[in-house]
Structure 1
Amino acid sequence: MPLFLLAAGGWALARTGYLAPGWPEGAAALTVKLLLPALLLNGAYHSALPDALPWRPLAAFYLPLVSLFLLLAFSGRDQARSASRALAATYSNNAFVGIPVLVQVFGEDSLRHAFPVIAFHSLAGFSLYYIMARRGRQGAGMLRSLRAAALNPIVASLFLGFALNLSGLALPQPITRLLAMLADAALPCALLVLGASLAGLRWQRIAETATIATAKLAVLPLLVLVLGFYVFGLAPDAVAVLVVLSACPVGVNAALVVRAEGQDPGAASSSILLSSIACMATLPAWLWLLQRL
């Protein structure tokens, strides 16, 4: 409930104009470029890293994601529109929903299961989108876009945290304290920005939007749950993290990437709005189910 109330507060602030115009864009940039990277860098730096790449959790998350993406991408005649629909149905809002929910419900230690997934999430989703949307076209623009995804502050902060962790370098206490202070501000700011971003979205293509939201909030997390528990035999706490990340609403960047490709982002934008509202029911339902498995 505190998470939803914060998001609702962001929506109300954006709708009423109580703050100066343009504050959601500034707050979003602050959150994505500074606060969330500080949280993830701090977590990756202090976490106990596995001896090898955790391929089973990655497979349990990304095999369903890739399969669902390809199924939707090949389901229509318009390859660009089908690719945008597939991206929206598989790209999670980990920054503004996934991380706050994990920290609030399971504690900050749960992020150690999320780090590998988050590190590759944008790169995997955007790669699939560009490949499918640009079939038969030149790939130079795609390579530039993938490079930008790899240099995303959230991804870069994770890799920097891993590097510092593996190096054994002890950061000075003022630096670690600064990171902790920034990390404390990350979650409330992320939720306020989420609510504010929804205030400017409008409904379009209701049937297509409902299909995308259903695939994102129900089908994808169900596939991740089945593979995590019954195929790869992961620990319940790891499965819970993977399911929460896959059950998040559609990520805001999905619409931005589609628009940058010169395509109509209407369905992606509508699915962001619908899935963000619907997740107030679906996320608690998944958490309730996970507690009983």
Structure 2
Amino acid sequence: MHNVLYPLWPIFALILFGYLLRRGRFLEQGFWNGAERLNYFILFPALLVNSMVKAPFSSPDLPKIALLALLCTGGIWCLLLLLRCYRHWPAARFGVLVQGALRFNTYLGLAMVSAFYGAEGLAIAAIIMAVKIPVLNFLSVWALASGQGLSPWHMARPILKNPLIQACLLGIALNLSGIGMPLGSDNLMGMLGAGSLPLGLLCVGAALQPAGLLGERSAMLVNSLARLLLVPAACGMLGWLLGVPAQAAALMVIFFALPTAPTAYILTRQMDGDSELMAGIITMQTLLAAVTLPLVLSLLPG
């Protein structure tokens, strides 16, 4: 367990530091708004492009990794659809619960993969993100829009405009075309991406809203524990059954054990979802992950 905690605690220390900076008003609100925008539209997409360009898409294990990601995501999605029919959730609530169960905090995930698995792990993580990010964004938008009578274009627009999806597609195109990152552009992208993870973790802490925990605590707790413990356990079992290589399966488990993405709150507000419940789920999952992630990591093969 100590071997797990040593690389992990600085990551959560940055999240806590971001929360304290925001709560103590050391920095103005305008800083956090600008930092989130800079990271979301420039720094993090640069990191994704760089990761996708270096990803081993020619790996013979790619079909198994993609199949595991899609099967796990599809299984959770089908279960949520059944629960919606049984519980009669409106789109505003269904979309929140879908994001809580499926989306993941990419900043935290890449920071963990870098700390535990290094460059080799980041290359495999790029494959996982290339599969999951477009699918999860589509499902999140569809869940929030279902029942609103929106046209296919109105549903597709926020997906197509998503800078993370655009960055993934650009990086994959540069990789598969053989163009790569010429004329030193890989150094530029590397420098931009290097600032993304620490700034992103600070912004995650700054975005925590403890007041949201006073709302529907039972719904938030069930959603959080299912996401942080049951889903990664099911993913690990399925990866073993499919014969996915140990390291790739471990990385997939980590991505399914992460708390949901802070940007889920922004999407929920934009599409008239239950933003209070979404804020509570984001905060609860992030706090609980400080306990559940070390447990999950300690059970993974070295």
TM above 0.5: yes
Matched pairs, number: 289
| 1:267 and 2:277 matched | yes
SS in 1 for 2:156: helix
Among 173, 180, 196, the alignment partner of 2:206 is 196
Aligned equivalents of 1:73 and 1:25: distance in 2? Answer: 35
Shift of 1:58: 2.0
What amino acid maps onto 1:91 in structure 2?
R
TM-score, normalised with respect to structure 1: 0.89
Shift of 1:268: 1.8
For residues 18 and 159 of structure 1, do their structure 2 counterparts lie closer, same or farther at Cα, with a shift above 3 Å needed?
same
What amino acid maps onto 1:9 in structure 2?
F
**Structure-2 residue corresponding to 1:257:** 267
Shift of 1:228: 0.8
For residues 132 and 160 of structure 1, do their structure 2 counterparts lie closer, same or farther at Cα, with a shift above 3 Å needed?
closer
Q: How does 1:115-134 map to 2 (within 5 A)?
A: 115-134=126-145
* Segment drifting more, 170-179 vs 103-112: 170-179
Aligned equivalents of 2:59 and 2:301: distance in 1? Answer: 29
Partner deviation per Cα, 1:100-137 (whole Å, 9 max, x = no partner): 11112211321222223322434323433444455455
* Segment drifting more, 173-182 vs 266-275: 173-182
Shift of 1:143: 3.3
| 1:92 and 2:104 matched | yes
Q: How does 1:119-268 map to 2 (within 5 A)?
A: 119-135=130-146, 137-140=148-151, 143-169=153-179, 171-199=181-209, 202-203=212-213, 204-229=215-240, 231-268=241-278
Aligned equivalents of 2:33 and 2:14: distance in 1? Answer: 17
SS in 2 for 1:19: coil
For residues 43 and 127 of structure 1, do their structure 2 counterparts lie closer, same or farther at Cα, with a shift above 3 Å needed?
closer
| 1:279 and 2:289 matched | yes
Aligned equivalents of 2:252 and 2:264: distance in 1? Answer: 20
SS in 1 for 2:300: helix
For residues 232 and 281 of structure 1, do their structure 2 counterparts lie closer, same or farther at Cα, with a shift above 3 Å needed?
same
> Does the 8 Å contact 1:122/1:149 carry over to 2?
no
Aligned equivalents of 1:154 and 1:131: distance in 2? Answer: 18
Structure 1: segments with no counterpart, 5+ residues: none
**Structure-1 residue corresponding to 2:115:** 104
For residues 201 and 235 of structure 1, do their structure 2 counterparts lie closer, same or farther at Cα, with a shift above 3 Å needed?
farther
Aligned equivalents of 1:136 and 1:33: distance in 2? Answer: 30
Aligned equivalents of 2:162 and 2:145: distance in 1? Answer: 22
Shift of 1:184: 1.5
SS in 2 for 1:165: helix
What amino acid maps onto 1:213 in structure 2?
S
Aligned equivalents of 2:59 and 2:29: distance in 1? Answer: 48
TM-score, normalised with respect to structure 2: 0.87
Structure 2: segments with no counterpart, 5+ residues: 1-8
Aligned equivalents of 2:146 and 2:246: distance in 1? Answer: 39
Aligned equivalents of 2:161 and 2:211: distance in 1? Answer: 28
> Does the 8 Å contact 1:7/1:194 carry over to 2?
yes
| 1:66 and 2:74 matched | yes
What amino acid maps onto 1:202 in structure 2?
G
For residues 74 and 266 of structure 1, do their structure 2 counterparts lie closer, same or farther at Cα, with a shift above 3 Å needed?
farther
Q: CA RMSD in A?
A: 2.2
